[in-house]
Amino acid sequence: MKEIFSILTLCFLSLNIFGQDLEYSDQEIQIKLDSIKKEGNLLYSLENASWNSTDYARDNKKLKKDFGGYLTYQSNDSIKTVIINKNQNEIIAEYIYLNDNKKPIKEKIATRTLNDSESKLLSVRQNLFSQLSDAKYEVGVPENFSLNLIIIPFENSFKNYLITGSHESEVIPFGNDFLFITDNEGKITDWKKFHSRLIPQYTSDGNGNYMTMSTHSHLRTSPFISATDICTFKLYAPFTKLDKFSVYSPALKTYFTYDYKKNTLQKTDKP
């Protein structure tokens, strides 16, 4: 919890710097980058478990028939995904992962009631979705893409990340990503849009030519690389020829480069 608190604190510091002159020492920048990387890695761990668990569930004929959604959350040192039935009142399967593995260390196909934490996560998710139709949030789903929700509890509030997903193997769907802070009941208390739009990075031209580097720019109001950038890249990079990507910050006039094989995030003069 202490680590999540520090990440959340730095996130809010980033939300509050809009309109101010941005001046950071290299040490301050690296502290922020380390925090962002931790959050990005956590998002990846949760979404990686969701991806694999839903694939396993849909490959099971019985589960596929009654598949009504899923919840993914931290459970001690592991990540757990539970599959919910269509009536949204029972868990019908659960999968537990360690160390971002693709295969669960434990799989249980059985029906049970939701525990208190799962009921709370489901309620928060449902309440959040009911608010996203408000035009001020500018939440939309581009054609041929999807939106995926990652929820991280923190004391009496929740961080709710929306990231864009794609079924294409040679595109990395940067952008169209959001962070919604909600109270314990799922009411939005603060929010942030990291990019102005979807920025799909196509990694092949279809003729055998592959992209070897990916770079995109951020809004001045999002001066740092985002945790959602890191999560998205880690999800899709294994299907490409890319090992790293960069973000240019107009506000700070510098680049940030993430290498997913080395799991390093650094300020760089150029990509």
pTM of full prediction above 0.75: yes
∠ CA 73-47-96, rounded to 5°: 50
The pLDDT score that the predictor gives to residue 222 is 86
Q: How confident is the model at residue 24 (pLDDT cuts 50, 70, 90)?
A: confident
Give the separation between CA 81 and CA 98, rounded to whole angstroms: 12
The answer to whether 204 and 210 have CB atoms below 8 angstroms apart is: yes
Task: Name the nearest CA neighbour of 52 among 201, 242, 235, 233.
Answer: 235
The pLDDT score that the predictor gives to residue 8 is 39
Give the separation between CA 255 and CA 224, rounded to whole angstroms: 9
Task: Name the nearest CA neighbour of 177 among 217, 122, 232, 215.
Answer: 232
* 101-138 confidence digits (pLDDT tens): 999 999 999 999 999 999 999 999 999 999 999 999 99
Examine the pLDDT at 9 and tell me if it is beyond 90. Answer: no
* 91-102 confidence digits (pLDDT tens): 999 999 999 999
